[in-house]
């Protein structure tokens, strides 16, 4: 496998794992984050640093793992945007959840610099990111897949190729986030409803996990509520952002999405109650508060 | 295993399988259905028939697999109700989805006849019913579990014992139905949303099934939409009933359940469009109609 020079933008819970997975595979990795502590942590792991201009000129691949579309646009084309420094034939791998229209726009702007663009949202959480075992929903030209291949091999376990231009990758991610967000809120609704009927929370998780009402998110998040542990693996605020994107895209296509809208409102209420930084399972607290019941305490 | 005399009320898609599973295990089974054709089909399988009075006097176990709470109450205590004919110590196994309060009420009315009552909703669909492999969410006294044991062994693969009185069984079933109904509607919403963004429906099922957005219902129902096959395994109308029960119970406990409410409205719209007898995956047609897009046709 050929070794690449890679610049990773965003060294948060996902990006740090991505950057370290690339390092572990033997690539040369420049790390960028607005937080100097994150940057120092990455240097301690064997990462490198450089100016945006130098890193851009040297990199085969730029991986953007920032929070949203606005940050992605800024990393690529802002005052200190890297694309203007990149060599023709190098490639941007854009991992944030963003609207398909924005993905198409960013790809076109990269194309003007003869820089390739892979619309490549990721799924799997910080643990999979650290293991180099993410799932990637990707679309773009064959050239862009080829140019990024050694990097993708290092950071993703599965790469779905969903089309030969930007857009379908982000659209598939939006489909996943619609379901994931609705399922987390549904977990909160159902678990708290069961408690309101006098059923033991742990028993609900045990039984429903074996029944037709289960979901990946139910099995993953309901134990957080049972254990009273709201350490943020994925925060409530993520869903204000991601369900917001889903609903913006939906509205732009005259697509009515009442479940996504109802779920978003529960996460908004959670944020409004000061729970935005807690684990997204804390959406259950909104239901409990509204029903005047108590959830299990931390052990 | 001791052989029992069993009366099964309701020989629909679930009850017929329950009754045949009991037969297959060597029990003597009386079948009852308002539809003479169902009754004849059961006789042809080796089942028996008798008057309600005679069947009641002879049965160790009465299994009620009718549509809802009103039908259950009618089977047990209506003009031709069976409980008045049952022997002390015999047991009613009530399988319909109904409100926990009604389960408690029916149990108390059985108790006045010294008849035991098992609050025992079932999950698993008609295929599992035919295989004697249902999941049962049951609560009731040890005596009622003991009295029904040979029958339960014949019809259920897993029996969760959720408490020593009626109520928790029905409550757990309501939790499951809340999730299942929301997840089916979410499947319709997400799959159709993806199609509206130009993503291939079959590809969505392939990718999402491996991602955090998946659910048991997504994996089971989304292929119906991809194949354009709305043969009713479980009909849209079931969800008007079951989510209606969930929301009635919730309202009775001052429990706000916005996702269940939003999902119910999509099923109501499906029924209003004449799709009440189609497979519940047809809820996707409501989304498609609202967005002016087409779903895959039958192959």
Q: How many CB pairs under 8 A join A and B?
A: 236
Q: Which residues of A touch B162 (CB under 8 A)?
A: 199, 203, 207
How many Cβ atoms sit within 10 Å of the Cβ of residue A73?
Answer: 20
Tokens describing residue B180 = 């299942």
Q: In chain A, which residue's Cα lies nearest the Cα of B258?
A: A262
* CATH fit for domain A170-291, picks 3.20.20.100, 1.10.1040.10, 1.10.10.10, 1.10.275.10: 1.10.1040.10
Secondary-structure class of domain A5-166 per CATH: alpha beta
pLDDT above 60: residue A113: yes
Give me the tens of pLDDT residue by residue for chain B, a chain 299 residues long.
589 999 999 999 899 999 999 999 999 999 999 999 999 999 999 999 999 999 999 999 999 999 999 999 999 999 999 999 999 999 999 999 999 999 999 999 999 999 999 999 999 888 899 999 999 999 999 999 999 999 999 999 999 999 999 999 999 999 999 999 999 999 999 999 999 999 999 999 999 999 999 999 999 999 999 999 999 988 999 999 999 999 999 999 999 999 999 999 999 999 999 999 999 999 999 999 999 999 999 97
Determine the distance in angstroms separating the CA of A265 from the nearest CA of chain B, rounded to an integer: 9
The fold for domain B171-291 equals 1.10.1040
Catalytically annotated residues of A: 173
Q: Which residues of A touch B159 (CB under 8 A)?
A: none
Tokens describing residue A210 = 């074996």
Q: In A89-167, which ranges are continuous DSSP H helix? A: 100-111, 125-130, 142-155
Q: Which residues of B touch A215 (CB under 8 A)?
A: 179, 183, 214-218
Is B208 within 8 Å of A176 when comparing Cβ atoms? yes
Q: In chain A, which residue's Cα lies nearest the Cα of B250?
A: A193
Q: Which residues contact A18 (CB under 8 A, 6 or more apart)?
A: A8, A63, A65, A95, A122, A129, A134, A155
Q: Which of A259, A263, A284, A285 should be substituted to probe chain B, the one whose Cβ sees the most B Cβ atoms within 10 Å?
A: A259
Q: Are A258 and B262 in contact (CB under 8 A)?
A: yes
> What's the pLDDT at A90?
98
Is B266 within 8 Å of A255 when comparing Cβ atoms? no
Catalytically annotated residues of B: 173
**Between the CA of residue A240 and those of A66, A125, A182, A258, A267, what are the distances in Å?**
16, 17, 12, 15, 6
List, as one string, the DSSP characters of A58-109. Answer: H-SEEEE--SSHHHHHHHHHSTT-SGGGSPTT-EEEE-S---HHHHHHHHHH
Please state whether B231 falls in left (phi above 0), alpha (psi between -120 and 50) or beta.
beta
Residue range A40-99, pLDDT digits in tens: 999 999 999 999 999 999 999 999 999 999 999 999 999 999 999 999 999 999 999 999
What are A30's strand-pairing partners?
A: A7, A48
Is B199 within 8 Å of A290 when comparing Cβ atoms? no
Residues of chain A with pLDDT > 90, as a percent, come to 97
Q: In chain A, which residue's Cα lies nearest the Cα of B210?
A: A135
Listed by start position, the domains of chain A span 5-166, 170-291
Q: Which of A134, A159, A175 should be substituted to probe chain B, the one whose Cβ sees the most B Cβ atoms within 10 Å?
A: A175
A26-A32-A36 Cα angle (round to 5)? 120
CA distance A235 to A237: 5
When CB atoms are compared, the residue of A179, A198, A220 closest to B218 is: A179
Determine the distance in angstroms separating the CA of B115 from the nearest CA of chain A, rounded to an integer: 25
CA distance A280 to A225: 10
């Amino acid at each position: 496998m050929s070794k690449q020079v890679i610049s990773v933008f965003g060294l948060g819970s996902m990006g740090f794992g991505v950057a370290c997975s690339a390092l572990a595979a033997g690539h040369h990795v420049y790390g960028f984050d607005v937080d100097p502590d994150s940057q120092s942590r990455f240097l301690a792991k064997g990462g490198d640093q450089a100016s945006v201009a130098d890193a851009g000129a040297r990199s085969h691949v730029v991986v953007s793992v920032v929070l949203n579309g606005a940050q992605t646009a800024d990393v690529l084309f802002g005052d200190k945007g890297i694309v203007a420094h990149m060599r023709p034939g190098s490639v941007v791998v854009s991992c944030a959840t963003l609207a398909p229209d924005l993905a198409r726009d960013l790809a076109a702007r990269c194309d003007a610099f003869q820089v390739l663009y892979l619309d490549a949202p990721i799924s799997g959480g910080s643990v999979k990111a650290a293991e180099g075992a993410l799932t990637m929903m990707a679309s773009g030209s064959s050239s862009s897949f080829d140019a990024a291949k050694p990097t993708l091999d290092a950071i993703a376990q599965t790469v779905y190729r969903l089309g030969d231009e930007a857009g379908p990758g982000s659209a598939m991610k939006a489909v996943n986030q619609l379901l994931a967000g609705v399922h987390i809120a549904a977990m909160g609704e159902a678990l708290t409803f069961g408690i309101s009927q006098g059923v033991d929370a742990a028993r609900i998780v045990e039984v429903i996990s074996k029944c037709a009402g289960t979901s990946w998110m139910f099995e993953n998040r309901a134990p957080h509520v049972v254990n009273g542990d709201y350490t943020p693996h994925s925060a409530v605020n993520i869903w204000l952002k991601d369900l917001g994107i889903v609903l913006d895209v939906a509205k732009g296509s005259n697509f009515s999405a009442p479940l996504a809208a109802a779920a978003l409102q529960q996460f908004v209420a959670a944020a409004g109650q000061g729970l935005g930084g807690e684990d997204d399972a804390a959406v259950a607290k909104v239901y409990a508060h509204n029903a005047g019941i108590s959830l299990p305490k931390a052990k």
